[in-house]
């Protein structure tokens, strides 16, 4: 989806978005719950201006054709194909500057651990590593119950909470692997309403009233 073009050109193609809409990065990491990522993008796309980001693992679960047509979709390949020489824009920095808010849904155990440790070896984690934590960042973890109950999860969640990252907790249900337990990603509609409520609590209907 227009992958490989410099961000400035891509943004110029996105001029059908009205002023005042919040600018939101929706990011998916490699949980099976990423099959709901297109649904999540559709939930947000009427209300906000969206840039979508996916890790390499998440791509196994995302049907790009089902994403909203006006959503720009970025992967790790775009980081490097959009940079040719010193002076060119660096995609993760441009996205970090552009966004008012970021949502990582689903958040895999691996990406949670990387964020907690400050690691940044792909587009998604580079955006987070460069993030201005005065801006909201929401995460919706999704993983098998064994992973969710593992002591690493609590440790990593404690660290991301200290950074000011907001948790949209997982839910208990029959998981994709057949096990029953906690760890399933919150429904996209709940993630959307959580972010909307946050905006309302801030007294905002949009973010960039120009
Ligand atoms: C079929 C399949 C389903 C997976 N589902 C999950 C999941 O729900 N949650 C999770 O944390 N990891 C899951 N994994 C493991 C991640 O994909 C793996 O840890 C990967 O390295 C995550 O990379 P990322 O965090 O860069 O996206 C799954 C792996 C496979 C093969």
Q: What is the pLDDT of residues 113-151, one digit of tens each?
A: 999 999 999 999 999 999 999 999 999 999 999 999 999
Query: Which residues have CB under 6 Å of ligand 1?
Result: 29-33, 55, 57-58, 108-111, 142-143, 147
- pTM, full prediction: 0.90
Q: Which CATH class is domain 21-201?
A: alpha beta
CA 164/CA 187 separation, integer angstroms = 22
Query: Half-sphere exposure of residue 69, counting CA atoms within 13 Å on the CB side?
Result: 1
Q: What is the pLDDT of residues 158-177, one digit of tens each?
A: 999 999 999 999 999 888 88
**What's the pLDDT at 205?**
53
Q: What is the pLDDT of residues 31-87, one digit of tens each?
A: 999 999 999 999 999 999 999 999 999 999 999 999 999 999 999 999 999 999 999
**Ligand 1 pocket mutation pick from 110, 128, 139, 181 by most atoms within 8 angstroms of CB:** 110
Tell me the average pLDDT across 197-205: 80
- Of residues 125, 119, 149, 139, the one with CA closest to residue 186: 139
Q: What is the pLDDT of residues 82-108, one digit of tens each?
A: 999 999 999 999 999 999 999 999 999
**What's the pLDDT at 207?**
53
The atom of ligand 1 lying closest to the CA of 109 is 11
At 6, is the pLDDT very low, low, confident or very high (cuts 50, 70, 90)?
Answer: very low
Return the residue matching tokens 């960039």.
208
Ligand 1 center–CA 204 separation, angstroms: 35
**What's the pLDDT at 142?**
97
Tell me the average pLDDT across 13-34: 79
Mean pLDDT estimate for the chain: 89
% of the chain beyond a pLDDT of 90: 80
Going from N- to C-terminal start, the domains of the chain cover 21-201
Q: Which two tokens stand for residue 99?
A: 């966004």
């Amino acid at each position: 989806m227009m992958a490989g073009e410099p961000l400035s050109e891509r943004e110029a193609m996105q001029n059908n978005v009205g002023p005042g809409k919040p600018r939101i990065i929706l990011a998916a990491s490699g949980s099976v719950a990423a099959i709901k990522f297109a649904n999540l993008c559709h939930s947000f796309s009427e209300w906000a201006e969206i840039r979508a980001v996916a890790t390499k693992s998440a791509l196994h679960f995302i049907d790009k054709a089902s994403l909203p047509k006006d959503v720009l979709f970025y992967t790790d390949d775009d980081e490097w194909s959009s940079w040719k020489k010193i002076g060119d824009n660096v995609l993760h920095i441009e996205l970090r500057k552009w966004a008012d808010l970021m949502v990582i849904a689903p958040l895999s155990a691996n990406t949670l651990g990387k964020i907690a440790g400050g690691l940044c070896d792909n587009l998604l984690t580079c955006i987070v590593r460069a993030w201005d934590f005065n801006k909201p960042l929401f995460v919706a973890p999704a993983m098998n119950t064994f992973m969710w109950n593992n002591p690493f999860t609590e440790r990593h969640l404690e660290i991301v909470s200290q950074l000011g990252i907001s948790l949209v907790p997982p839910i208990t249900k029959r998981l994709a692997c057949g096990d029953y337990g906690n760890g399933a990603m919150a429904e996209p509609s709940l993630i959307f309403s959580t972010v909307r409520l946050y905006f309302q609590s801030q007294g905002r209907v949009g973010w960039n009233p120009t």
